[in-house]
Amino acid sequence: MADAPRELGFTVAPPAGSLDRYPGIAAMWDPATGSLREGYGLGDFYAAAQAEGLPIVNAATGITNSSSQAYSASVSVSREMAALGQGVLVVSAYNPTHGRSLDGIESFLLKGLNVNISTVEATRLLLEDSVAYNQALAERADTPSLAYTQAWGHSEGAALMTMAMSSDMLSLSVRQQIDLRVLGSPMGNAPEGLHTFRSIWNWNDPVAATFGRTASATGGVEFSPAFIAANQAVPGSYTATRLDFRVDVPAGMTNENHSWQYYLSDPAGRGAFGLVPMNADLASFYSRSYWLKGE
């Protein structure tokens, strides 16, 4: 399997809880960086995870997000899957931050002009590797449900996932194995041919409400051709759930109605993604400033 170029950046979140059950990946993973120790590549890590029976989930975060933010979002997914009784390995190809102005230009190129930036390509490659990995794991474990690869995207990360999955270079056979989950997406269209698609958007989130709806050609992802066609073929396979929450933020904080942790603290959003009701452990996690490495 191909390793993601280090200049693009990738982070890895192991299964939530003790790693005593997974000595192979524990030896390669560096908790200080949320990535791999020097000298190991994703291929090495995947081989160890395969031997230890762990499925892979992919994640992508948004504009101006640092590697630690990408890692913390991956930790969030790992914790959510653990609450569902599923140990997973979460791999993220994050979009390196270059400052709000440059990242804003990049977002315009990505969404406004459909420019295939390097992180879209890295995300596509990770998806291909993850689908192949999970299919092999399903055969090895004789568990067909493991063949489906879950992918998460927030904000610009949702755009990256949508672009990667809409690429002509990603085959239909790969897309059919993907369960995509997007939060606060700026995209008004859905990729064709996915196994399932779940979108949650907050009416008070200017990214999702403006770019993903009023400024989109479709008027919202649920009106896009792929969304309609998917539900005609398999009713309920594609869903878009409107949320209505407002965050009472401390002075100096902005745009929290768009933030990952608040999306996943909303009961309707959790229900739309099939997550467990909020419990004390998850509430504590989402209430903290969890964007720090090692969190």
pTM of the model: 0.87
Burial 138-161 (b: 16+ CB within 10 A, else e): beeeeeeebbbbbbbbbbbbbbbb
Decide: 127 and 50 in contact? Cβ < 8 Å. Answer: no
Number of domains in the chain: 1
- Considering the domain boundaries, does residue 295 fall inside one? no
| Per-residue DSSP letter, 216 | S
Site of tokens 């295939």:
116
- Considering the domain boundaries, does residue 293 fall inside one? no
H or E stretch covering 243:
strand 238-243
Q: Render pLDDT for 43-94 as a digit per residue (tens, 0 to 9).
A: 888 899 999 999 999 998 876 456 667 778 888 999 999 999 999 999 887 6
| Residue 6, CA distances (Å) to 2, 54, 124, 154 in order | 12, 23, 15, 22
- Considering the domain boundaries, does residue 292 fall inside one? no
- Considering the domain boundaries, does residue 3 fall inside one? no
Kindly give the interhelix angle for 118-141 and 156-166, rounded to the nearest 10 degrees: 70
Residue 228 is part of which domain span?
10-287
Q: Render pLDDT for 100-139 as a digit per residue (tens, 0 to 9).
A: 444 443 444 444 434 445 678 778 888 999 999 999 999 9
